[in-house]
Amino acid sequence: MKAIRLGNKIVRTLVRDRMYYPDRLIVDTFGIIVRCGVLLVLYWYVFSLNDGMINNTTYIVAAWSMFFYFAFSVFRLRDISRAIMQDVQSGNVEILFSKPVSYLSYRMWWQVGAGLYPFLVISLVGTIALALIVGLPATMSVGIFIPTVVLVVFLGTLLSLFLYAVVGLLAFWIEDINPVFWIVDKTVMILGGSYLPVALFPDFMYKIALWSPFGASQFITHTVYETWATEWVMKIGIQVFWVLVVAIIVSVLFAKAREKVSVNGG
């Protein structure tokens, strides 16, 4: 209960901070227009060259799938890796370990709080803009769409936090986690369906995206396809499985990391 109260306090404080200083929101909006906007224009051209259909997927569905990826990326959950590395490199971790709160849950709450406001605003504004520009696919008007999207975002958030926390915790053993971070991040980017929507994946790549934790963390991009109505139970099950597995890995790694640190005070 105490931990939840602390988390709630951290999130509320950071959301207020982001609301008060809207610079980051402007930059995030600008960034998503640059990356996602240019990509949508290009795909519009590519789909029009192929009579509006590639791999039985229409432009509207592909556009929404990519938009969901970029909107979710605004959450910046991946930044937890570098935050942990900076704590380790600067020695700040010693101070945080001596506090009566769990270091990892503090870092996770912080990450959620820092990204929540831009994520919500950009998702809302982007959804309205995209609905007006390209329209809504029929799959988004199905009754299960909104509840399952909320669930998938929640599980995707947990899985992303755990995945990137594993990378961050490696900073206790290796001096620079950046190379590992790049590889994990790009794997998530490819299998998540960022620049290439999942519907255009070759069969083997789709299977990897489906069964790996990297792809599972971005199942939000799968929600607009027709197959979602029949596959959502399985996909949410896969997410739950990976959340549990990666959570166990995080707790084991964290316990080992704690043993390596000796807090001397001063």
Partner 1 sequence: MMKEIHFALYAIKKNIQSSAELRTSFLTNIVGMAINNTAFIIIWVFFVKSVGVINGWTAADIIGLLGFGVLSYGIVFSAAAGIRKLADYVAGGGFDRFMLSPKNLLMRVATSSFNVSALGDIVFGLACLVIYGLLVQVSFAQIFSIALLVLISVVVFLAAAIAAYSASFLFADANSVTSGLFELFTTPSLFHGGAFQGATRLVFTFLIPSLVVGALPVEIVKNVSLEQFAVVGIVAVVWFFLSLKLFSWGVKKYESTNFMTFGN
Q: Cα separations (Å) of 43 from 52, 122, 227, 255?
A: 10, 21, 21, 46
Give the interface segment with partner 1, choosing from 20-28, 69-77, 96-104, 212-220 (CB under 8 A).
20-28
* Selected binder of partner 1 within 10, 11, 14, 39 (CB under 8 A): 39
Taking CB under 8 A as the rule, does residue 24 contact partner 1?
Answer: yes
Residues 225, 228, 231, 235: what is their CA dihedral angle, to the nearest 10 degrees?
A: 90
Please check whether residue 66 is in contact with residue 194, taking contact to mean a CB–CB distance below 8 angstroms: yes
CB 253 within 8 A of CB 166: yes
By CB neighbour count within 10 A (0-12 exposed, 13-18 middle, 19+ buried), where does 265 fall?
Answer: exposed
Distance between CA atoms of residues 38 and 31, nearest Å = 11
Q: Is 164 in the site for partner 1 (CB under 8 A)?
A: no
Name residues whose C-beta falls within 8 Å of residue 196's C-beta, 6 or more positions apart in sequence.
190
Residue of the chain from 6, 189, 240, 247 that contacts partner 1 (CB under 8 A): 189
How far is Cα 238 from Cα 23, in angstroms, rounded to an integer?
A: 37
Residue selected from 91, 100, 143, 202 as contacting partner 1 according to rule CB under 8 A: 202
Match 């799959």 to its residue by tokens. Answer: 139
Q: How many binding residues for partner 1 (CB under 8 A)?
A: 38
Cβ-based nearer residue to partner 1, 154 or 195 = 195
Q: Which of 154, 173, 195, 211 binds partner 1 (CB under 8 A)?
A: 195
- The verdict on 229 binding partner 1 (CB under 8 A) reads no
Binder among 125, 205, 240, 247 for partner 1 (CB under 8 A): 205
Contact pick of 8, 13, 55, 251 for partner 1 (by CB under 8 A): 55
Q: How far is the CB of 186 from partner 1 (least distance, A)?
A: 4
Q: Which residues neighbour 84 within 8 Å (Cβ) at sequence distance 6 or greater? A: 93, 107, 165, 168, 169, 171
Closer to partner 1 at the Cβ: 43 or 162? 43
Three-class SS state of 78 = coil
CB of 263 to partner 1, least distance (A): 25
Instruction: Please give the residue ranges that form the binding site for partner 1 (CB under 8 A).
Output: 23-24, 27, 30-31, 34-35, 38-39, 41-43, 45-46, 49-50, 54-55, 174-176, 178-180, 182-183, 185-187, 189-190, 194-196, 200-202, 205
